[in-house]
Amino acid sequence: MKKSILNLGKVLNKAEQKLINGGQVPNYCFNNTAGYEAECREIALNNFMSGDCPTWNPCFSSGPMGCTDMCLSTPNPR
């Protein structure tokens, strides 16, 4: 049964995942909802690595030198 469940679909890469939810940042990231810090930090890092400046996340700031990651760490795993 496990094998049949594992074969239900395919693994999606980041680009394919964004197509599903439109690449939108969930509201709980804007609201600083407890329990989602690592997930929101990961979303912010992905935005940053894509060339965006996710100033909605407290770790990022935009200034005259460009976007700065003030936390400089990867999110903790869930």
Extract the runs of DSSP E, i.e. beta strands, from 1-78: 60-63, 66-69
Q: Is residue 24 part of a domain?
A: yes
**From residue 1, how far is each of 6, 8, 9, 10, 11 by CA, in Å?**
9, 11, 15, 17, 19
- Global pTM value: 0.62
Q: Is residue 32 part of a domain?
A: yes
Q: Is residue 21 part of a domain?
A: yes
pLDDT in tens, 13-23: 766 666 565 66
State the residue range of the domain holding 32.
Answer: 13-69
Q: Is residue 76 part of a domain?
A: no
Q: How many structural domains compose the chain? A: 1
The residue-averaged pLDDT of 1-24 equals: 65
